[in-house]
Structures are given as C-alpha cells and as structure tokens.
C-alpha cells in the first residue's frame, strides 16, 4: 500500500509539473513571438516607407517635368500662331491694295507679292483670283504656272472656304488639303472689292504646312520635342517619330483666322530623362536593398530561433519521457510482483470448499482490482520501453484493415465507423504492434469523446513533405465533445488526463512515444464541441511494384 501511495504521489507531481511547464510556456512564448514578429516586420515597414518616399519624389519630379512640357507647348502654339498671323497680314495687305486699285495689272501684283514673299518665308504662293473663282495671276510664276486657269470653286476641299469668304465677305481659311502644287497645306481667301464696293474675287495665300511649322519652330524646340498639329482631327503636320517619343504629352490651341488648330508636344527620350532625372533612384535602390538584406537576416534569425525552440522542446520532452519511463518500468516490475502474489493467493482462496458467499464475493472483487492493476502495469511497461521493438516494412492501410475486427469490439453499437484506407500509397518502417497501440489508444479516446454515439473516421493519406521527407498520415477523427483549447498543449504529457476516475494519462503519451520511435510526429486539430482529429505523420518508404522492378 505504501508503494502504491508513492506511485500516486509521484504521478500527481509529474502531472502538476507538466501543467506548470505548459502554463509557463503559454505565458512566455506569445510575448516573445509578438516581439519577433515585430522585428521581422520592421524591414518590410521600412521598405514601404522608402517606397512611399520614392513615389512622392517621383511624382513631384514628374509633375515638374510635365509643367515644363506644358510651358513648351504654350510657347510653340504662340510662336506658330504669330508666324502664321504675320503671313496672313501680308496677304490681307495685298487684298486691301488690290481693292484700292493699286495692283490693277499682273506685273505690279506679281512684283509686289514676290518682294513680300522674299522677306517672309512660309508662303508657297500668292494668287489673284477673279470673281468667278479662276486663278489669274500667280507669284512666283515658274513654280505655280500650272495653277493658272484652275477654278477654286471646283476644288472639293478648297471650295467651302472660298464660298464662305464670298458669301460673308470675310477672310476664310481652308482645312488641310492637297494643294495644286502637290504638297499638303492650306489656303487663305481675302475678298477683293472693286468699284462701289462690289465683290471682285480674292487674293489667295497658299501655305506649305510642313515648311511653315518647321520655319516657325526651327530652333531647339524641334530638336528636343516632337510635334503633331491637327485641324479638327485632320493632320496638318507631324514630326517623324512622334509616336515613339516619350509618353508625356501637352496640347495647346492655335488660332488661325476662323479655324482652331491643336498642337501636341512630346519630349524626346533624351529630353524626358533630362527633365525628369530621377536622382533619388540610386539611393532609394540602396536603401531598399538594405531593407531586403535585413529582412532576410531577420527571417533567418527568427527561423533559427523557432527551430532551436522546437528542438529544445523535443529534447526536454524526450528527457522527461526517458526519466519517467525508467521510473515507471521499475515501479511496474515491483507492482507486477505484488499483484502476482495477490492474484495467486486470491485464486487459491477461491478453491477452498465451503467458502462463505460474502468472502467469495470479496475475493472476486480483489481479483478484478488486481487484474486491472495488471493492465496498468502492462501499460507502464510498454511506456517504459521494456518491450522489444522489431521494426518492419509494411503498408499501414493493410495493417489497419487487419486490426479493424478487434477495433470494432471496442466500439459500441451506437457508433458509426468510416474508413478510408487506400492501399499502395507506400510503406512505413516501424514495429506493427506500435501502430496497433496508436490505433487502439486513439479509437478508445474517440469512443470516450462520443458518449452518446457518433461517427469515427479512420483514414490513411499521402502528406506533404515535412523536413524534406515524404510521409503518410494516419488520421482518427470523431465528432464528439472536442478538446478545450487550454488542454491542447498538455494532452501528450504523461499522466495528464481529462477522464475523471477513469484514464491513466498514458494513452496519448504512448501514442506520441510510438510515433517518435518510428521517426514520425503527432498533432491534433480540435475545437470544443466540434470533435477532434488526431494526425500521426510517419516517414514514407516507397516500395517499387514488381512490374517496376522488372522494367528496371
């Protein structure tokens, strides 16, 4: 009796120590984990801050570059508008002189027009058109002789502007068109009035669009920028390579008498780099690279700490299990000797004739308690590794299928057993009796967790790699009462039990021990009131099929 009290005292002390250790871990680990997560997040936060600074500076530089492009577009529009306006004034002055009767003959008209054209570039031709729309005089003569006699009212693109100028007696400009000279440009019509103010034709100014724009923007603007000039969507002039220039673009309006043009300006690639140098890219790249290196170092440090903690935890558990195993083995042997004597004497006493019924009933109770004690000693002996272990190569699905008839005797009729045991997934190397012990303990726990009946599922499946090794997972799942979150970290501790006056606290410890001896692991998923699922991961040994051996 004294020895039994010592065993119970030591077991209770071990249970209290395990709970204290688990509680201490709970108090220490979360704080440390939060600190480590914060340290791990610092490089990422710093990288985000630097990225935000980069985006802010980048946008500021881009905005400054776009303002410069807008200013350039405005300058280009003003210069082009002034350049065209000056030449239109020359044509208008000729129309006024013609209306005053000062240019009544061809010689004087051509001479005066040629003098003005020599002073101002961009004018392709200045023509005198009669009241019927026929071109009479041209300046200069030689390049434009083939235009003499053509009627502007019959030109499909020039006629609308000429008719509008005649009807409104106001100057008008054509849309972009192909001129009589064979180039793209536009024409202006200034009405001429004869005696008594009657309409008497036009003075017509003809402009080469490309020459006009290039002359107006002849300096560095066309070297640094590409331009596109349009009149109501119709192309007037486009610099070669405009579509390949930088994506930044600015547009501005150009007023050409009664029409409105749009000039779009795009910087060349070199000009865009000069306007937007992105000076911050180098130092920002260095800072972000430093953050990346720091993040990798912190992540490596944290991973090393996690691995070290896990190894330390497994070492502490293994040392404690070893110590408890040795102690349990010694106690089990002594207890087994005592129980053998008790059982033998009780059975001998039962053979006595004339034994009173009360005494026989008492002896039966003694035998029952002794047999239960013998079962406990067998569990202690198994836990202490006193039994020999003979590893073998076998398919766990087949081993479980062979064990099912015995497992069904442990399960009540109000339980439903489902199995998913596909064969051929691979083999494991361990003592088959250890897998039997794992299944027996997990199934008994599942039955106890479903006192009113329920479903128990046993399955075997392939598992992802763990520590660079393939494995099989043996799962035992129930839909019972579940495990409180407060007990999840302690359920594999020796002598820890939630079964009041029923369990020894060695079942799950034995499951953990058997899995460890086979090179595997045990984990559990559970939520209180929603059942539990125990997962036993075992290293996989792939066994080639006979056909594969022949092919090899």
The confidence band for 476, taking pLDDT boundaries of 50, 70 and 90, is: very high
Contacts of 106 (CB under 8 A, 6+ apart): 128, 136, 137
For 312-331, the three-class secondary structure string (H helix, E strand, C coil) is: HHHHHHHHHHHHHHHHHHHH
Under the banding of pLDDT at 50, 70 and 90, the label for residue 189 is very high
pLDDT at residue 424, as a whole number: 85
Pairing of strands 415-420, 454-466: parallel
Beta bridge partners of 235: 230
Q: How far apart are CA 323 and CA 335, in angstroms?
A: 18
**Binning pLDDT at 50, 70 and 90, where does residue 330 land?**
low
- Per the structure block, which two tokens stand in for 79? 């210069």
| Under 8 Å between Cβ of 510 and 441 | yes
Closest CA to 237 of 66, 76, 90, 88: 76
ω into residue 468 within 30 of 0, thus cis? Answer: no
Cβ of 180: how many Cβ atoms within 10 Å? 21
Cβ-Cβ contacts under 8 Å for 474 (sequence gap 6 or more): 396, 400, 435, 438, 439, 458, 459, 460, 535, 536, 538
Q: Are 347 and 15 in contact (CB under 8 A)?
A: no
Alpha-carbon dihedral 103, 107, 111, 113, rounded to 10 degrees: 50
Pairing of strands 415-420, 225-231: unpaired
CA angle at 262 for the pair 256 and 263, rounded to the nearest 5°: 105
For residue 463, give the nearest of 455, 474, 454, 471 by alpha carbon.
471
Task: Name the DSSP letter for residue 102.
Answer: S
Q: How far apart, in whole angstroms, are the C-alpha atoms of residue 48 and residue 288? A: 9
What is the edge-to-edge ordering of all strands in the sheet holding 469-478? 415-420, 454-466, 469-478, 532-539, 521-526
Q: Which residue has the higher pLDDT, 302 or 250?
A: 250
Query: In angstroms, how far is the first alpha carbon of the chain from the final one?
Result: 66
The CA distance from 125 to 143, in Å, is 9
Closest CA to 452 of 481, 429, 425: 481
Residue 288: pLDDT band (50, 70, 90) is low
- What's the mean pLDDT in 257-280? 80
Lowest mean pLDDT among 59-63, 342-346, 408-412, 499-503: 499-503
Angle between helices 357-383 and 507-517 (to 10 degrees): 30
Ordered alpha helix ranges (H), 174-279? 209-216, 220-224, 269-275
Please say whether the beta carbons of 18 and 495 come within 8 A.
Answer: yes
The predicted model gives 252-265 an average pLDDT of 90
Which H or E run contains 524?
strand 521-526
Which string of DSSP letters, residue by residue, matches 353-399? TT--HHHHHHHHHHHHHHHHHHHHHHHHHHHTT-S----EEE-HHHH
Higher pLDDT, 52 or 543: 52
For residue 552, pLDDT over 60 is answered with no
Residue 134: DSSP 8-state = B
189 CA to centre of own chain: 64
The structure tokens listed for 206 are 């003809």
% helix / strand / coil in the chain, to the nearest 5? Answer: 55, 20, 25
Using one digit for the tens of pLDDT, what is the confidence trace for 490-520?
777 776 666 655 556 677 887 888 888 888 8
Q: Find the helix or strand (DSSP H, E) in which 234 lies.
A: strand 234-238
Whole-model pTM? 0.46
């Amino acid at each position: 009796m004294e020895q039994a009290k010592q065993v119970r005292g030591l077991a209770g002390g071990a249970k209290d120590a395990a709970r204290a250790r688990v509680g201490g871990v709970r108090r220490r680990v979360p704080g440390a984990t939060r600190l480590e997560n914060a340290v791990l997040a610092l490089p990422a936060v710093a990288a985000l801050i630097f990225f935000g600074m980069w985006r802010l500076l980048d946008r500021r530089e881009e905005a400054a570059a776009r303002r410069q492009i807008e200013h350039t577009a405005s300058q280009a529009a003003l210069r082009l508008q002034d350049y065209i306006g000056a030449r239109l004034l020359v044509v208008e002055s000729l129309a006024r002189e013609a209306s005053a009767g000062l240019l009544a003959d061809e010689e004087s008209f051509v001479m005066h027009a040629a003098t003005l054209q020599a002073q101002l570039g961009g004018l392709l031709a200045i023509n005198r058109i009669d009241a019927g729309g026929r071109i009479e005089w041209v300046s200069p003569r030689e390049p434009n002789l083939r235009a003499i006699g053509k009627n502007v009212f019959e030109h499909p693109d020039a006629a609308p502007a000429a008719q509008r100028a005649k009807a409104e007696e106001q100057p008008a400009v054509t849309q972009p068109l192909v001129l009589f000279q064979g180039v793209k440009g536009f024409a202006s019509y200034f009405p001429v009035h004869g005696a008594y103010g009657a309409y008497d034709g036009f003075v017509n100014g003809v402009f080469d669009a490309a020459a006009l724009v290039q002359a107006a923007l002849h300096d560095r603007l066309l070297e640094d920028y590409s331009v596109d000039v349009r009149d109501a969507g119709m192309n007037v002039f486009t610099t070669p390579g405009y579509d390949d220039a930088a994506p930044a673009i600015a547009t501005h309006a150009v007023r050409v008498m009664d029409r409105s043009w749009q000039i779009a300006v795009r910087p060349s690639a070199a000009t865009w780099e000069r306007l937007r140098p992105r000076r911050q890219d180098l130092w920002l790249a260095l800072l972000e690279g430093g953050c990346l290196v720091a993040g990798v170092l912190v992540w490596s440090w944290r991973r090393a700490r996690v691995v070290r903690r896990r190894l330390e935890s497994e070492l502490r558990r293994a040392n404690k299990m070893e110590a408890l195993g040795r102690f349990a083995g010694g106690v089990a042997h002594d207890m087994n000797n005592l129980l053998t004597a008790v059982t033998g004497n009780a059975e001998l006493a039962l053979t006595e004739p004339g034994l009173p019924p009360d005494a026989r009933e008492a002896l039966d109770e003694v035998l029952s308690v002794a047999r239960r004690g013998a079962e406990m000693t067998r569990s202690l002996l198994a836990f202490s590794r006193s039994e020999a272990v003979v590893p073998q190569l076998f398919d766990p699905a087949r081993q479980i299928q062979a064990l099912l008839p015995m497992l069904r005797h442990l399960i009540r009729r109000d339980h439903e057993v489902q199995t998913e045991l596909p064969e051929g997934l691979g083999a494991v190397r361990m003592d088959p009796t250890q897998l039997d012990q794992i299944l027996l303990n997990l199934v008994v726990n599942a039955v106890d967790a479903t006192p009113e009946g329920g479903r128990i599922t046993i399955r075997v499946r392939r598992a992802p790699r763990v520590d660079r090794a393939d494995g099989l997972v043996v799962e035992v799942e129930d839909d019972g009462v579940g495990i409180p979150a407060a007990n999840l970290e302690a359920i594999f501790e020796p002598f820890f039990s939630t079964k009041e006056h029923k369990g020894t606290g060695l079942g799950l410890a034995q499951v953990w021990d058997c899995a460890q001896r086979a090179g595997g692991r045990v984990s559990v998923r559970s939520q209180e009131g929603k059942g539990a699922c125990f997962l036993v991961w075992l290293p996989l040994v792939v066994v080639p099929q006979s056909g594969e051996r022949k092919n090899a």
